[in-house]
Amino acid sequence: MNALVSTLVGTTDDEALNCFVYVLGSHGKNACWTYVGWTIDLDRRLAEHNTGQGARSTRGRSWTLLYAERHATRRQAMSREWHLKRDRRFRKLLSQPK
């Protein structure tokens, strides 16, 4: 078990973890997809999505980071993720070409 995992095992939700909520975007010929998630390591998580090791709905596409927020606790990050997943207008604004 690596040091990061062993550190997180005994951590409660109320202790600071520096969690991130992120929105990924993937553009196809006629459509744009977004994916919302949370993690403690943005670079690692984006690499997992792009290599097919992320969530099943993200496999087979090339993803870019559109937006990220830092939160002090896992509970805050998960709550914000829940809200962003339901905010289609915000995700549509993020996914539009600039």
pLDDT (tens, 9 = 90+) of the chain, 98 residues, equals: 333 332 333 445 545 568 999 999 998 888 889 999 999 999 999 999 999 888 888 888 899 999 999 999 999 999 999 999 999 999 999 988 76
Residues 16, 72 contacting (CB under 8 angstroms) = yes
CB atoms within 10 A of CB 25: 19
Domains annotated for the chain, with CATH where assigned, are 15-95 (3.40.1440)
- From CA 7, how far away is CA 56, in angstroms rounded? 27
pLDDT at 65: 95
Q: What is the pLDDT of residue 98?
A: 66
Shortest CA distance to 26 belongs to which of 82, 65, 52? 65
Q: What is the pLDDT of residue 9?
A: 39
Cα 14 off chain centre by? 20
Give the H/E segment covering residue 47.
helix 42-50
